[in-house]
Amino acid sequence: MVETSSINTTCVYQTCYQVDFPCVIVHGGAWNIPQNRTQHTLQAVQTAAKRGLEKLLDKSQGNAAIEAVECAVRCLEDDGLFNAGFGSCLCANGSVEMDALIMDGSHLRCGSVACVSRVRNPISLAKRVMEETPHCLVVGQGAEELAEELNIPMVESSLELVSEVARKEWESMDNNYPGAVDTLFLQNISHETVGAVAVDSLGNIACATSTGGITGKRKGRVGDSPLIGCGGYSDSRWGGVSVTGHGESIMKVTLSRRIIFGLESGEEPIVAVENSLKEMYERVGGKGGAILLTRQGKAVIGFTTSRMAWALASRRVTQSGIDGD
């Protein structure tokens, strides 16, 4: 079963699939993806979803949902086209600062990192924060010291994570953060934050989100992606969410938790996503997108930008898309 809707007043496009478990859904950011990048972007999210599903089908995995979302997001962090890991955008001073979140909905365990500059895969460090520390969020130098203690792969210089696309975008913004926000989000131009949500065969639900932030941001600025309830949220009683868009807007409405609260309040999944994105747009002018998997096997993709790359994979259903038309 597939449901679709388009709300002209707030430009919400969304679709809903009934899926079987295990299942994984991946997004590659909600923005106006240029035509010359659509094929690569679609192929990348399709590959990430496929690799996530392989983890879900591997019977040797413990909490397969956690392994699946980490694997899918790592795949996109390594790609170079997305604003996460290799390919992350540059701060105003030309440095790189990355954020990531992962959450296990079975026990509400979570881990996140912010303002890391030399960690090759921030999502893997976030996972280790969840598994091996009593903390939920570790930032900056302390997070990188933890990565070294845990022998997580790092680069010598953050410049090794800078792609040509990210460098050119930084040069075009000319250290103008307000202009970057207006261009990248309010005018639907960018950005490629990545995320994944998975449900394993036991009904465990996990989510993950990773980003390099916004081009031209102040050093030390942190957006929604590493914040529980903002960049992602997972509760295996209801569902899991990963979101993308303008971080300050997402934080103001705690977008991910708002979507899960909609489910708790009896809203249909497609309505919960629609109402949450609509509220963010109407209250704070924020645009973005969300992916949702529910305990009842509903997969929802919604966004208020012109495009959002996504891919879904389960034993019986494989779908992907990029356009809102």
285 assigned to a ligand binding site: no
Residue 189's alpha-carbon distances to 1, 52, 65, 143, 174, in angstroms, are 32, 28, 32, 31, 16
Helices (H) and strands (E) in the chain, counts: 9, 14
Residue 126's alpha-carbon distances to 104, 136, 237, 238, in angstroms, are 12, 9, 23, 23
Question: CB count, 10 Å around CB of 1?
Answer: 7
Q: Is 305 a catalytic residue?
A: no
Alpha-carbon dihedral 154, 145, 149, 151, rounded to 10 degrees: -10
Tokens representing 251? 């934080």
Closest by CA position to 230, among listed 75, 103, 52, 138:
103
212 assigned to a ligand binding site: no
135 assigned to a ligand binding site: no
318 assigned to a ligand binding site: no
Given 15, 41, 183, 193, the catalytic residue: 193
d(CA 286, CA 300): 20
Question: Is there a contact between 36 and 158 (Cβ–Cβ < 8 Å)?
Answer: no
266 assigned to a ligand binding site: no
Let me know the angle formed at the C-alpha of 108 by 130 and 267, rounded to the nearest 5 degrees. 140
Tokens representing 142? 């302390």
245 assigned to a ligand binding site: yes
246 assigned to a ligand binding site: yes
211 assigned to a ligand binding site: no
Residue 228 DSSP one-character state: B
Q: 320 has which bridge partners?
A: 311
d(CA 67, CA 131): 12
Please give the span between the terminal C-alpha atoms of the chain, in angstroms, as a whole number. 19
Let me know the angle formed at the C-alpha of 102 by 232 and 207, rounded to the nearest 5 degrees. 55
- Element of type H or E holding 43: helix 38-57
d(CA 226, CA 222): 8
Question: Where is the binding site for substrate, in residues?
Answer: 221-224, 244-247
Question: Where is the binding site, in residues?
Answer: 221-224, 244-247
Instruction: Give me the active site residues, please.
Output: 193
